[in-house]
Structure 1
Amino acid sequence: MMKKTFKIILKSMGVIAVLIVLFLAIVFIVNLISNKSEQGKIESYGQSVTVDGKNMNVLIQGRGEETVVLLPGYGTASPALDFKLLIDELSSFYKVVVIEPFGYGLSDETEKERSTENIVSEIHEALQQLNIDRYTLMGHSIAGIYGLDYVNKYPNEVSAFVGIDSSVSTQPGMDVKFPIKAFAFLEQSGLLRLVKKLSDDPYAGLAFDDQTKEQMRLISNKNSNNDTTLNEMKNISINFKAAQHLAFPENLPLILFIQANNTGVEGWIPLHEGQVKDSVHGEVMKMEGGHYLHHTKSKEIVEKFKEFMEDIKSGH
C-alpha cells in the first residue's frame, strides 16, 4: 500500500514538474514573439544626440527664453512620455529639454558602469551637443542624487534645482542589496511581462491619452530590467553613499516638491527641510499625491516654480 501511494506521489510530482516547465516555456516563447512584434509598434519621438559614441534620445518642446532640463526617476521606462503632462504645462513658458539617459526611453544601452559620475557626465555631454549651457535642472526621485552631484560639478550652468519628490542621500533603507539576478530572470523568462499583464493599469485615472499610455506600455516592455538599468540598480547604494558628503550650493535657488504623506520613507519631510535649510533661496512645497507628483500636480508644480523664480528675480 505504501509503495503504491509513494508511486502515485512521485507520478504527481513528475506531472507537476512537466506542467511547470511547459508553462515557463510558453511564457518564454510568448515574450520573445511579443518583443519582436512590439518593436515595430514603438513610435519615435524627440531627437538623437551622440554621447560617448552612442545615441541618446532627447525631447525638446517649447520656445521660452529660459530652459528647463527634466531628469527621470529610476526605471521610468519612457521619460519623455512619462513627463508629458508636466512638459505640456512647462512648455507654455519655457524651452523644455527631456534627457533620456542610456537604458531609458529610446536611448541606446551602455556597458559603462552606472556610477553617478558617468551618468552625470553623459547628461552634461548631451546638453553640450545641443549647445545648452544655462538651465534649471528639474528631476524626479533618484535624479535628486544625480542632480546634487551635477549642480556641484557645473555650478555656472545650473540656474536652479527643482526636485519632484526627489531622493535624499541620507534617506533610510538605501544600503539594501537588490536581488539583481532575480530581476534579470524575471525579464529574460518573460514572467515580468506576465506579471505586468495581470497587474492593474499604472496609468488608470490619469490624464494621459490612450495613445501615450499604449506607447508607455510598449516601451516599458522593451526597457524593464535591461542590463543598463540593472547595473544602475546595482550601483544605487554606492551612489547614495557617495552623495552623502555633498550639499546644494547655498546660493542656488532650490525648490523641492514633495509628497505630504510619504509613509514609505521615515522622516521624508524633515530630510528635505534639511536640504534647503542653508539655502539663500530654498523652499519645500508639500503636495497631496503619489511619488509621481507630476502625474497629478503638473499645473501646481509649474505655477509654484514660476512664482518662486519670479520672486527671486524681483528680489523678494
Structure 2
Amino acid sequence: MTANRNLKRRVRARAAKTGESYTAALRHFRTTPRGDSMRSSVRLSVAQLPVGSDPGDTAALRGSGQLIRRLMHEAHAAGARLLHLPEGALTCPDKRIMSAIGPDLVGPADWERADWATLADELREIAALAGSLKLWTILGSVHPLTPPRRPHLSLYVIADDGTIATRYDERMLSNTKVSHMYTPGSEPITFTVDGARFGCALGMEAVYPEIFGEYERLDVDCVLFSTHGPGVPANNGPFALQSQALAAANSYWVSYAGIAQDAPNAPSGVVTPSGDWLTRCPPAPATALVTADLDLTAENHARPWRRVARSGLYTQYQAPADPRSLNRANC
C-alpha cells in the first residue's frame, strides 16, 4: 500500500510539473508490461478503397462488404491490431441520388431508398470476422435513427471480440449534410487498443482544429481521420495537408483514410507526431493498404510544454496595463 501511495504521489507531481494528464504521466513510471495494455507500440493498417454512392444498391453494398473483409484479412496477415477505413467505406450516399426532388436539384434525402437490411447484414459479417481475426476494425457507414430523425454519418469501432465497442458520429457537418441528409453527432469518442488511446474524426472535420485540440486534451495517442474529400471531382489534398499540420500542432499520430477515387491527390497514410508522413498508399485510384507501427515510447516535450503554456504561465510575466496608454487609445 505504501509503494502504491508513493507511486501515485510521484505521478501527480510529474503531472503538475509537465501539464500532462494523470494517465500520460503514469506511463513514465511503468517499467514492466501489464499484459497487452502496456505495449510500447501498436501496429495499424490504413486503407483506401472505392466507395459506393447509392445505399439502395444491394449488389454494391454486398461488394463493399466483401472488399472490406478482404482488406481485413490483408491487415491481419500484416500483423495489424487495428484496421482504419475511410468515410463511407460501406456506403457513402450521394446527395443527388438521395434527394427526394433530385437528381437535378438537391433537397431533403429520402432515406426509404436505403437498403437498411443489407447494410445491417454486412456490418454483422464484418463484426464477426473482426472477432475471428482479433482485429479492431474502424469503418464508415450510415447509422439509422428512429424516423423522422435523419441518420448519423458514422464510424463504427468494432472491437477484436466482434462487438461494436463504440461509434463516432460526425459533428461538424457540411451545409448540405446538415440541411438535407444527416443528424449531427454531439461528442468525441475515445477507445484503447494495447495501451494506445485513439480518437475519431470524420468527413470535413480537419478544417476544425478545435475537434483535434479536444482530442489532445483527452490525451489520445492517435486520431483516426476518415474522409471522402470535398467537391466534384473530389480533391481532398487540403484535408491531407491539414492532417499533417494537426498532427504536428497536437503532437500525436494521425491516421488518414481517404477513398480510392481521391488517392491521386491524397492517398491514405499515417502521419507522425512531428507532421511527417510515415507511410502512404500509392497515389492511384485503386484499393490499397499500408501498415505502420505507432511508437508509444518516444518522449515528446512539446505536448506537455504547450499544456503548461496554456495554463496561465505567461500572466506572471505580463506588466500591468498603463492607464495613460489606455486613455490615449480611447482618444
Which TM-score tier does this pair reach, normalised by the shorter chain?
0.3 to 0.5
**Larger proportion of helix:** 1
Tell me the TM-score normalized by structure 2.
0.32
